Amino acid sequence: ALRKKNTPRWLNAKGAFSEVVLAEEKRTQRLVAIKCIPKKALEGKENNIENEIAVLHRIKHPNIVSLEDIFESTSHLYLVMQLVSGGELFDRIVEKGFYTERDASQLIHQILDAVKYLHDMGIVHRDLKPENLLYYSMDEDSKIMISDFGLSKIEGAGSVMSTACGTPGYVAPEVLAQKPYSKAVDCWSIGVISYILLCGYPPFYDENDAKLFEQILKAEYEFDSPYWDDISDSAKDFICHLMEKDPMKRYTCEQALQHPWICGDTALDKNIHESVSAQIKKNFAKSKWKQAFNATAVVRHMRKLQLGTSLEGPSQITPTSPCFMCNPLCPLMLHAEPAHLNSNKS
């Protein structure tokens, strides 16, 4: 039996599909996160939630948020999820007083290990970005967790994907070009995340969406001075192998895990916190995160660029703004009161 608790600010997330609430298992007093989905909201979207559940059911990895149970009432579907309470990646970096390449390398090592696990299972996340990376706990040495499998795809034997999905600043060129793609898109996203972790700003940016897409399609990025002056050549080499335009030449997770910046001792111990945290605060401010992004404009710009139409269905590109608060689950949410939970607050 579960009992609803006062939901903390960092978990009280709502969106187009559902709401995430904090709950306590009565017998063990263990806290969990429950994704409450009104069945009415699922009409016509059954495939989305079925896909997410199918993905989550298969995953058991220490760096991936797990699905622990499923409950159903006449009006709602409840996904009981592992609770991650350590906060968002960027917030923790900014709060640190000391931050180095080695710290970034250790973070990326955990992400690569988790994504390799997914890829070995034939699962492609398709929406890897800093906002989907959460710390398990508030402990200083807490592990990082991958969340949000709303856009994940299970690859069939020899299958390719073609739906335009993800968040524009992190998607691979082949996704924007709406060419058939595979798990290599996740490796590109890890390259983008690595880039941001070392300088605090994204490799691709333009106020004009069409120009942003052109940059990504051409894989046009630089290691700007002075922000990259103190970053090792090994780190830059690692990023270049992941942010490789040709997916056939791009590093796989397995290859990336063998790179000396990840498994060797080439990651520097120089403190880069001041520069990186200043850029994170400038480029990823919460006020900017909450700005609405017109997904229709993305599709319109893609058509202007004559990128063709999706072979699988409508575009699923998500807003450039990160997900709402510190949400360990899918960011698609709508208010729902869990009918079967005890309303006693404790």
Render pLDDT for 167-212 as a digit per residue (tens, 0 to 9): 568 888 988 877 766 889 999 999 999 999 999 999 998 888 888 8
Residue 215: CB atoms within 10 Å: 16
Q: Where are the domains of the chain?
A: 2-81, 89-317
Please, what is the Cα angle at 250 between 176 and 59, to 5 degrees?
A: 80
pLDDT at 12: 38
pLDDT digits (tens, 9 = 90+) for 60-104: 999 998 888 888 888 888 888 888 889 889 999 999 889 999 999
Clarify whether 233 is annotated catalytic: no
- The answer on pLDDT for 20 being more than 60 is yes
Nearest to 72 by CA among 24, 34, 129: 34
Radius of gyration of the chain (CA): 20
**pLDDT tens-place string over residues 235-249:** 999 999 999 999 999
The CATH number for 2-81, chosen from 1.20.120.1200, 1.10.10.10, 3.40.50.20, 3.30.200.20, is: 3.30.200.20
**Mean per-residue pLDDT for 42-62?**
76
Q: Determine which one of 69, 103, 113, 127 is catalytic.
A: 127
CATH of domain 89-317: 1.10.510.10
Question: Do you know the residue count of the chain?
Answer: 346
pLDDT of 169 reads 80
pLDDT confidence of residue 225: 95
